[in-house]
Amino acid sequence: MGRPSRRSELLAAGIEVMHRNGYAGSSVDAIVAMAGMKKGAFFSHFGSKDAFVCEALLGYFEGWSPAADAILEDEGLSSEGKLEALIRISTGGSKDNFQFGCLIGNMAAEMSNSHDEIRNTLAVLFQQWAIPFERLIRKGQALGDFHSGIDPVATSRFIVNSLQGTILRGKVEHNLQSLEDLIRSLHGLLGVTSSASR
């Protein structure tokens, strides 16, 4: 198998460094050191640190959408099962995965009042994150598994917003209580029926 591209290696190193240290704490020097490269390699692939961060964020998220699609297409899962599966792949489903929080949420908290290129990328990612939840809610409503009166668009955005709080709380408390609370609360909000639970 061929050697991964230097661009990919830089992005993987940057994701790891930024996930631990945030934007301000992640210098170009630290990223290239993690990748075992020189600074010139960084700027030969990326025009600026902000351009790099945008691509790294997209790379961080890119595996989530196919995983979400696979869950939605799994005929062996109930509507409730799909909801829980989407939530768990959004959080990692393990208290260990809460250690550094969500890179997207961390960056949103740090960059919300500056760096428009990054902020715009984050806005797109939050929108994309909500889409599978919206699809699930619409399908669950059609099947009679979820309340027909809830707005799928607004509710999907609410779920993504709630996930950020869940991850933050789990990061602080080092347990899964916030995740289990979210799942139970969403059952009540969506009106999960007994048939959906089977």
- Specify the range with the lowest mean pLDDT, choosing from 11-20, 155-164, 170-179: 170-179
Q: What is the pTM of this model?
A: 0.88
Q: Categorize the per-residue pLDDT at 196 as very low, low, confident or very high, splitting at 50, 70 and 90.
A: very low
Each residue's pLDDT tens digit, 57-82: 999 999 899 999 999 999 999 999 99
What are the boundaries of each domain within the chain? 6-58, 63-197
Supply the pLDDT for residue 94: 56
pLDDT at position 1 over 50: no
Supply the pLDDT for residue 71: 97
Q: Which residues contact 8 (CB under 8 A, 6 or more apart)?
A: none
Q: Which CATH number is associated with domain 63-197? A: 1.10.357.10
User: What is the DSSP code (8-state) at residue 37?
Assistant: -
Distance CA 179, CA 123 (A): 23
Do the domains 63-197 and 6-58 match in fold?
A: no
Each residue's pLDDT tens digit, 118-154: 999 999 999 999 999 999 999 999 999 999 999 999 9
Supply the pLDDT for residue 79: 96
Nearest-5° angle of CA 154, CA 110, CA 108? 25
Q: Which residues contact 138 (CB under 8 A, 6 or more apart)?
A: 152
Average per-residue pLDDT for the chain: 89
Q: Which CATH architecture has domain 6-58?
A: Orthogonal Bundle (1.10)
Q: Give the number of other CB atoms < 10 A from CB of residue 12.
A: 16
Distance CA 42, CA 44 (A): 5
Here the tokens at position 144 are: 């009679």
Q: Categorize the per-residue pLDDT at 93 as very low, low, confident or very high, splitting at 50, 70 and 90.
A: low
pLDDT at position 33 over 60: yes
For residues 16-23, average pLDDT: 93
